[in-house]
Structure 1
Amino acid sequence: MSSLIAPSTEIVAPIASQTAHPSAYSAFKRLLDIVGSLVGLLILGIAFVPIALAIKLDSAGPILYSQERYGLQGRRFRIWKFRSMVSNAEALKQQVKNEAKGLIFKNENDPRITRVGRFLRRTSLDELPQFWNVLMGEMSLVGTRPPTHDEVTRYADHHWQRLNVKPGLTGEWQVNGRSSIKDFEDIVALDLRYQDCWHPLYDVTLILRTIQVLLSRSSGAC
């Protein structure tokens, strides 16, 4: 079993002493992640060139976007996405109104998102590179949304509980109307619900529900 678990990296102090959720040690979940990430990376290999060309033709800047995020028990890792915003998006963030409540930032009509970026987010194609994070064991197919440094510096004690599982490409928030959920505490409640409900086949159920959401084109952008 130990060979299926990724090695530890730097851990954030407030959560380092907590016990990880049983899903973090599940061999079945890790096997599901490996198989799913290999399929996802195959899709990425097929889609990479057309998506990269579309991004470059639409706006100046890199094809991929990376950012430090926090995973299982506060371990830091670098997440990868296709760039969906203008290259100086972080510098322009203060000019955009936050329509969410709490520790997340969300604006449905964020002007920093490019035309191609809106399509990528609507279809979740921008997240294809994260299958590499899953293969490396930094993420899982199913889990919580990986928070940023700005978020975790403002966490209350109960917020750290959501990081007792690996961050995921999908999860309770994504299949329960993420575009309509704008209160961070509601997201935390869904994350903790996942921990309460989890069993190996529950991940399969959420993956199937995610596919259904994507096919219905009802999902919002993260």
Structure 2
Amino acid sequence: MATHTNTTISLVTSRFNNTLLVQLSPRLTVIEAVSFRESFKQWIEDTTVTKIILDFGQTTIIDSSGIGSLITNIKSAKAKNIQLTVWSLNPQVKLAFVMVGLDKILSIEADTEAIIPTVSRKSQQRPPLTHASVRSPIKRTIDIVGAIVGLGVTAVLFVPIAIAIKLDSPGPILFSQTRCGWMGRRFKIWKFRSMVTNAEALKSTIKNQASGAFFKNDHDPRITRVGRFLRKTSLDEFPQFWNILKGDMSLIGTRPPTPDELEQYEIFNWQRLDVRPGLSGEWQVNGRSKIRNFEDVIKLDLRYQENWSLGYDFQLMLKTFVVVFNKDSGAV
């Protein structure tokens, strides 16, 4: 048995024949996740390794970047036909796995929890640690109240909007799409339909005017006439108050990416998923129609996380109203 200590993120690896046992660090956040990804690339290049065991016995904190590194490493291991197994999940990390469905993808061996004693019974009850906004009961209360009011307004507007959509373009009134929220958890987002019914199939034929992991075209031919008005006034977003009521989203947060956008993320990009996605946020009130670089989106998202407070949320809410009623704003 050979033992090697990776000083970059304090990983200890042990080799048993063709199996590599990796003891992960106490934290798996953005710094550790990037190093974990780089180390994993080296491990799977060893053609004699057929199985890798990830021992989470000491890991008590994981964030969205940690989840992102795991998802990337799972795909890399699969491409090399390397079996990936998990040991010793403490309840906080296990909860994060369950939230994003990793418990169904990874092979998690039972009866390994006692290999390395970890956390107390009291700390086992805490949710995954990401961002204070996610754990704020006041913010959640504001979201619920806002969602109820928003759904009331949506109900009043539903009939005239539905008639306009139907007269303009055949197809359903509402459009649903899979998006990725807090920690990368997938959910169905709802909008009033603003595009032709086969918009997803036509996406590959439309030029992307943005750079990086999101799509933008100022003159997207898939958008209907009524759809362009709905986007200009942000009325197409109103059904998302249902997503807010359910807890998938918040009134203020970050833009929820699609799964194919998430596929293009670098590990550090996953930091934007440390908060719940929002109906509005920094990106929406700071020129969403003009931003073309994904790195600029990341900067806005991280700025929100750094500056977050309930007061800051209210500031962004007020800016949202200003942007919506500004004739030169809105999505196109």
TM-score (normalised: structure 2): 0.62
Q: CA deviation at 1:19?
A: 3.2
SS at match of 1:131: helix
Q: Aligned partners of 1:218, 1:76: CA distance in 2, in Å? A: 33
Tell me the amino acid that sits aligned with residue 131 of structure 1: F
Q: Residue 109 of structure 1 corresponds to which residue in structure 2? A: 219
Q: Aligned partners of 1:18, 1:188: CA distance in 2, in Å? A: 22
1:99 aligned to 203, 209, 218, which one?
A: 209
Aligned pairs (5 A) from 1:51-200: 51-200=161-310
Q: CA deviation at 1:63?
A: 0.5
Q: CA deviation at 1:12?
A: 5.9
Q: CA deviation at 1:218?
A: 2.9
Q: Aligned partners of 1:218, 1:43: CA distance in 2, in Å? A: 24
1:217 aligns with 2:322: no
Aligned length: 213
Answer yes or no: is the 8 Å Cα contact 1:64–1:80 preserved in 2: yes
Q: Which consecutive aligned stretches of 4+ in structure 1 deviate over 6 angstroms post-superposition?
A: none
Larger Rg: 2
Answer yes or no: is the 8 Å Cα contact 1:66–1:78 preserved in 2: yes
The structure richer in strand per residue is: 2
1:47 aligned to 144, 157, 160, which one?
A: 157
Q: Aligned partners of 2:187, 2:205: CA distance in 1, in Å? A: 28
Q: CA RMSD in A?
A: 1.7
Q: Aligned partners of 1:57, 1:42: CA distance in 2, in Å? A: 24
Q: Residue 132 of structure 2 corresponds to which residue in structure 1? A: 22
SS at match of 1:138: coil
Answer yes or no: is the 8 Å Cα contact 1:18–1:73 preserved in 2: no
Tell me the amino acid that sits aligned with residue 276 of structure 2: K
Q: Aligned partners of 1:82, 1:166: CA distance in 2, in Å? A: 21
Q: CA deviation at 1:18?
A: 7.1
SS at match of 1:189: helix
Answer yes or no: is the 8 Å Cα contact 1:11–1:76 preserved in 2: yes
Answer yes or no: is the 8 Å Cα contact 2:323–2:330 preserved in 1: no
1:38 aligned to 145, 148, 158, which one?
A: 148
Q: Aligned partners of 1:218, 1:138: CA distance in 2, in Å? A: 30
The structure richer in helix per residue is: 1
Q: CA deviation at 1:10?
A: 3.5
Answer yes or no: is the 8 Å Cα contact 1:12–1:73 preserved in 2: no
Q: Residue 22 of structure 2 corresponds to which residue in structure 1? A: none
TM-score (normalised: structure 1): 0.92
Q: Aligned partners of 1:81, 1:94: CA distance in 2, in Å? A: 21
Q: CA deviation at 1:201?
A: 1.2
Q: Residue 11 of structure 1 corresponds to which residue in structure 2? A: 100
Tell me the amino acid that sits aligned with residue 257 of structure 2: P
SS at match of 2:179: strand
Q: CA deviation at 1:90?
A: 1.0
CA displacement 1:153-182 (0-9 Å, x = unmatched): 111011100000000000001111111111
Q: Residue 40 of structure 2 corresponds to which residue in structure 1? A: none
Q: Aligned partners of 2:170, 2:133: CA distance in 1, in Å? A: 41
SS at match of 2:305: helix
SS at match of 1:163: helix
Answer yes or no: is the 8 Å Cα contact 2:133–2:275 preserved in 1: yes
